[in-house]
Amino acid sequence: MNHFYPYNFGGLVRNFSELSSSKYVILKIPYEATTTFGKGTKNGPSSIIEASRNMELFDEETFSSGYLSGIHTTEDLLFENINPEKMTETVYNAAKNFIQMGKFLISIGGEHSISFPLFKAHKDFFDKIGVLQIDAHLDLRDSYEGTPFSHAAVMRRIYEICNNIVQVGIRSLSEEEGEFIKSYNGKIVWAREIAQNPEWIKNVIKSLPENVYLTFDVDGLDPSIMPATGTPEPGGLFYYDTLKLFKEVVKERNIVGADFVELAPLPGQPASDFIVSKLIYKLICYIEEKTK
Ligand SMILES: [Mn+2]
């Protein structure tokens, strides 16, 4: 590992990582309270940053360096306690602060429950907004293990404030969720469809409004490329599927913010950390290419 670069996303020097001059902000949220099976999402942010410091910053596809508009990395967002309801306040306030400053916010978790307050902060700021969720799981339970602010209920909380939701890569749900989606206004693009229908990205895009908040649960990826997550499910998205989706959504819609959650790093297996770091950087490069 290279310890000479600054400890921030991309290992960027001050000119490209100061808050005041940076277009992008990476908000580190190492929150973990309600994970179900595998633990370790609290280590997600530091592993993503570490991987990103060892990644080439020249993008081979756009033939450009996305970091030139500046990427600022925050300190870890701290929680006085891990009470899920208090968490929503802390995350909401932090996100709102950066959005009001005009920053493009990319939050890194931490467990998926942080996405509700993150989306709420974006929704308060942007009209005509919908959610693009990449995930193996619907996360539409009314509550889970005693809290409505569980990772397994996060999309239900979001759905209560916005019914324009597109869920992509889904291949796992509960009986309760199966019942719930019978009268549901969200759009589900099943992982099965992605594997079989080359037109699946068009189906995603036509369901999205003008402004899009992206919430990316890394377990939406296939576990062969993303073993580092608490509840892996076979049959997920691969790297180039995901890049193609990012590229088309950036082209056809306006992504206004994003989060990447549920990475639970595996000691000695950094490939998963590098994938998340690279996906974040690719997203930035695609947005930069569009706004050039
Ligand atoms: Mn999930």
Domains of the chain, by residue range, sit at 9-291
For residue 2, pLDDT over 60 is answered with no
Q: What is the CATH number of domain 9-291?
A: 3.40.800.10
> Residue 145 — very low, low, confident or very high, per pLDDT cuts 50/70/90?
confident
Supply the mean pLDDT for the chain. Answer: 95
CA of 30 to the centre of ligand 1 (A): 17
Instruction: Tell me what pLDDT residue 38 has.
Output: 67
| 33 CA distance to ligand 1 middle (Å) | 15
- pLDDT, tens digit, for every residue of 5-37? 899 999 999 999 999 999 999 999 999 986 666
Q: What is the mean pLDDT of residues 194-215?
A: 97
What's the gap in Å between 62 CA and the centre of ligand 1?
30
Terminal-residue alpha carbon distance, the chain: 33
Q: How far is the CA of 232 from the centre of ligand 1 (A)?
A: 8
Does the predicted TM-score (pTM) go above 0.95? yes
Residues by chain with Cβ below 5 Å of ion ligand 1: 135-137, 217, 219
Listing DSSP states for 150-210 in one string gives SGGGHHHHHHHH---EEEEEE-B--HHHHHHGGG--SEEEEHHHHHH-TTHHHHHHHT--S
